Amino acid sequence: MMSSRQDGMGEAVDALVWRRSSFCYSGECVEVAVRDGMVLVRDSKEPHVGPLSYTPQEFKAFVRGVVAGEFNDFVGLA
């Protein structure tokens, strides 16, 4: 029987549907899931660590910044 990991709020993290980018070739990427209207973000290399949570508005602002290229200098694309 598989035990269920829990986040900091005591809820099962394994039961969530985690998604990662189709550009994640190494398998070591950021994953996102949704629970109770919040966007959860975790590191796929350390799924046992509790995820960070953001409101939909916060996550949307971040994604817009990524699409606009605001973080390209962090990965040497600027």
Each residue's pLDDT tens digit, 16-47: 999 998 888 887 899 999 999 999 999 999 98
Contacts of the segment 50-57: beta carbons below 8 A, 24+ positions apart: 50/7, 50/8, 50/13, 51/7, 51/13
pLDDT at position 1, please?
26
| Structure confidence at residue 77 as a pLDDT band (50, 70, 90) | low
Q: Where are the domains of the chain?
A: 19-72
Residue with the larger pLDDT of the pair 32 and 13: 32
DSSP 39: E
Centre a 10 Å sphere on the Cβ of residue 39 and count the other Cβ atoms it contains: 20
How far is the C-alpha of 71 from the C-alpha of 9, rounded, in Å?
31
Q: Is the pTM of this model over 0.75?
A: no
- Residue 36 dihedral angles phi and psi, to the nearest 5°: 50, 40
1-12 pLDDT, tens digit per residue, is 223 344 555 455
